Amino acid sequence: NRSLRGWMEYFKHSSRWTFPRLDSWVRRRLRSILRKRSGRKGISRGRDHNRWPNAFFERHGLYSLVAAHRAMLQSSAG
């Protein structure tokens, strides 16, 4: 989460399309790590998204760049 917060500071002025792609990439890397820990080889694919859905990462407190960007826009608009 600390690294993701740093990435948010770095990318905060990027276009809004940047954040979903980065969040997706981070979750894919985490799924690959979980896949390796469970004894499987290769990058995450197929059923890995069902094993570890996005809600799994939310429940475990993964920092979301999309949510942070949305909150940043809300605070600057108000």
Q: How far is CA 73 from CA 9, 55, 60, in A?
A: 13, 23, 25
| pLDDT, tens digit (0-9, with 9 covering 90-100), for 1-47 | 889 889 888 888 888 888 999 999 999 999 999 999 999 888 888 88
Q: What is the pLDDT of residue 59?
A: 96
| pLDDT, tens digit (0-9, with 9 covering 90-100), for 44-69 | 888 899 999 999 999 999 999 999 99
Instruction: List the one residue out of 74, 69, 55, 61 whose CA is nearest residue 21.
Output: 69
Instruction: List the one residue out of 54, 6, 59 whose CA is nearest residue 30.
Output: 54
Tokens standing for 73? 């826009």
Q: Is the dihedral of CA 71, 61, 45, 9 positive or negative?
A: positive
